Amino acid sequence: MHAAWLGDEALRAVGSRCVEVLGDAPLIQTIRAELAHAHARHGGSTEAPQLVLALGGATGPEGYLLSRADGVTRVLAETDLGLLHGFFHVVRLGEAAFDGSYGPGLHQPAHARRMLDHWDNVDRHDVMGQVERGYSGDSIFWRDGVALHSAADETRVRAYARLIAATGINAVALNNVNVRGAAARLLTDRLDEVAWLARIFRGYGIRVHLSVSFAAPTRVGGLGTSDPVDPDVAAWWAKTTADVYAAIPDFGGYVVKADSEGEPGPFGYGRSHAEGANVLAEALAPFGGVVHWRAFVYNHRQDWRDRSTDRARAAYDHFAPLDGQFRDNVILQVKYGPIDFQTREPISPVIAAMPHTRVAVELQVTQEYTGQQRHVCYLAPQWSEILSFPLTATRSVDQLATGGIVAVSNVGDDVFWTGHPLAQANLYAFGRLAWDPSADPAAILDEWAALTFPGAPPLVAQTLHAMMDDSWHTYESYTAPLGVGFMVRPHYHYGPDVDGYEYSPWGTYHFADRNGIGVDRTRATGTGYTGQYPPPWCDTYESPQTCPDELLLFFHHVPYGHLLRSGVSVIQHIYDTHFAGVERVLELQPLWERVAGLVPDDLHARVAQRLVEQLRSAIEWRDQLNTYFLRKSGIPDAHGREIYA
């Protein structure tokens, strides 16, 4: 496997110095093992210690103090996990950690739980494969129903744990939220496989979580019902959970997708989602575990003719009335937008609607809708914008996410981990932003580039910035316009298909006709979705005059001639952005050629190959979108460019 951001060279600064590590706790052993490896590689030094790591100080459960004085860099932490985070901070700083004097600076994570969810199937699914929405090969945990557990598999899982721990991740859910086939049994007779993985992750301070089926009592427990208010069901969850903790004392908890896209849930028994979540939460509470209960609940069998049902409204309509009814150890896990990880969506109003409920915000590192790791799309700018969004008068999304930050992982058994090597930066950036949401995406990219390509000439970082800084906007520009979303090939979610979902049951429509396009979600004339927002957003979004351009078609159905706030008409914007997007993609291959020989050849070749596909796909998007809208509207491009009418 590719060493990603923790290759031997990335540890040169610590590996070539004398380091003293005081204390004796499990993760201190991990630090010692890291140092032993780095010293073997870089020689170390036998002079007086230039780096000292020790327990001490009131730094909180994961925080640490970092300082440098009198030629010694010091990391002090209350816990061994804090010390491990501090160690990786020193690694990130490299030589700068040993420069001059600084600090002490107290570093603490913004969120107690920073979690990656794997959508890895245990059985290979006929349609979804081993990893649902995975674009990096197969799972690193399971294959064809069997747990991977050879020495090589263990080494790979350990390498993954190490990589994500170094970004600040402290929790991982090991299996798909769609709990199919053998996956349901991870909770019971296949628990030893989970325990095996938990042991590896534990070595890097990461707790494991399991996605469980709400119907587990009937599916694997042999009960006649999974009704959450049935005492036998509660007893089954309590006993089963106690067994899990007997095997895995630091088990994190459950993740549940219920009453969603065919997964069973409390609605099947006429119960609320609070009743459903609480029975699992009660079972977990004695052990300090949590249940991540997903808010992704909507009608996926909608009749497209029915204009009164709006998928965007669904999560709020289901969950907001339940605020205050969930136990403390229930974390409502809310996708950042009301639909489904589109390139551009407004923030989900659920995040502001439940002040008495712990809410976690869910992001997607795997690029289901953002180019599937065939397109360069650096997502840190999107996440940064999401997390800093001032959803209420006093609080940003990040501040409202009292239950933590979660994302769907983009990792598989691909030799580069992430299919597209540059998508490693997304995995890295997610961890860094979950720890510090105020971090600057461009600075994170610098950090990632310096660790991943240590010693490379400045041209490498310059090139990566040129290709990646604005790549999310570039992707947006040649795909679905102005926040309307979808327009992707059904099921695959890759490549253009403007009407692919238009007459489907999935609730993702654009309503383009010969006069205009967009979804009227206003209170005045539409579905009323704008009313789910707190001020000022309920009013900002209500009017096309104040609605931000990039979200206009999410909230409004407007004529093609409607002038955007930018002064350009909607139709001209569609043409302009699609032409400009491809122009930007055309720059990528020559940019990447500049660094041939400056980055490893195999990595260079893989990226070069993906760039060819990105260009092909971007042209296809441009031509299908432009042609579709020219045919629909009959309005020509003001600049007379080629469109295939």
| Active-site amino acid positions | 261, 340, 368
Calpha distance 428→434 (Å, rounded): 10
What are φ and ψ of residue 420, in 5° steps?
-85, 120
Which one of 92-100, 173-181, 399-407, 458-466 is the stretch in contact with ligand GCV (CB under 6 A)?
Answer: 173-181
CB of 422 to ligand GCV, least distance (A): 23
Which one of 33-41, 146-154, 172-180, 577-585 is the stretch in contact with ligand GCV (CB under 6 A)?
Answer: 172-180
> How are beta strands 146-147 and 142-143 bridged, if at all?
antiparallel
Half-sphere exposure of 203 (CA within 13 A, CB side): 20
* Encoded tokens for 434: 């979950």
Q: Does 119 bind ligand GCV (CB under 6 A)?
A: yes
Shorter beta-carbon distance to ligand GCV: residue 296 or 417: 296
Which one of 78, 193, 227, 340 is in contact with ligand GCV (CB under 6 A)? 340
CB of 553 to ligand GCV, least distance (A): 21
* Encoded tokens for 519: 């979804």
With a CB cutoff of 8 Å and minimum separation 6, the contacts of 281 are 290, 291, 326, 327, 328, 329, 330
Q: Does 120 bind ligand GCV (CB under 6 A)?
A: no
CB of 260 to ligand GCV, least distance (A): 6
Shorter beta-carbon distance to ligand GCV: residue 298 or 435: 298
Q: Does 343 bind ligand GCV (CB under 6 A)?
A: no
Which one of 133, 162, 207, 273 is in contact with ligand GCV (CB under 6 A)? 133
Sign of CA dihedral 524, 528, 532, 538: negative
Q: Does 177 bind ligand GCV (CB under 6 A)?
A: yes
Q: Does 257 bind ligand GCV (CB under 6 A)?
A: yes
Q: Does 259 bind ligand GCV (CB under 6 A)?
A: no
DSSP state, residue 564: P
Which one of 171-179, 190-198, 523-531, 624-632 is the stretch in contact with ligand GCV (CB under 6 A)?
Answer: 171-179
Q: Does 318 bind ligand GCV (CB under 6 A)?
A: no
Which one of 176-184, 201-209, 414-422, 522-530 is the stretch in contact with ligand GCV (CB under 6 A)?
Answer: 176-184
HEC secondary structure over 49-66: CCEEEEECCCCCCCCEEE
Which one of 109-117, 174-182, 281-289, 558-566 is the stretch in contact with ligand GCV (CB under 6 A)?
Answer: 174-182
CB of 290 to ligand GCV, least distance (A): 19
Tell me if residue 114 falls in helix, strand or coil: strand
Shorter beta-carbon distance to ligand GCV: residue 119 or 201: 119
Q: Is 275 exposed, middle or buried (0-12, 13-18, 19+ CB in 10 A)?
A: middle
Candidates 225, 333, 329; CA nearest to 280 is 329
Which one of 141, 142, 293, 296 is in contact with ligand GCV (CB under 6 A)? 296
Which one of 30, 178, 532, 614 is in contact with ligand GCV (CB under 6 A)? 178
List, as one string, the DSSP characters of 180-231: -GGGGGGGTTTHHHHHHHHHHHHTTT-EEEEE--TTHHHHTT--S---TT-H
Q: Does 132 bind ligand GCV (CB under 6 A)?
A: yes
Q: Does 345 bind ligand GCV (CB under 6 A)?
A: no
CB of 4 to ligand GCV, least distance (A): 25
> How are beta strands 171-173 and 114-117 bridged, if at all?
parallel
- How many residues line the site for ligand GCV (CB under 6 A)? 9
List, as one string, the DSSP characters of 544-563: TTTS-GGGHHHH--EETTPB
Asked if residue 423 lies in contact with residue 467, where contact means CB atoms within 8 angstroms, the answer is: no
With a CB cutoff of 8 Å and minimum separation 6, the contacts of 76 are 54, 55, 56, 57, 59, 64, 65, 67, 86, 104
Calpha distance 68→54 (Å, rounded): 14
Shorter beta-carbon distance to ligand GCV: residue 30 or 176: 176
CB of 368 to ligand GCV, least distance (A): 6
Residues that bind ligand GCV (CB under 6 A): 119, 132-133, 176-178, 257, 296, 340
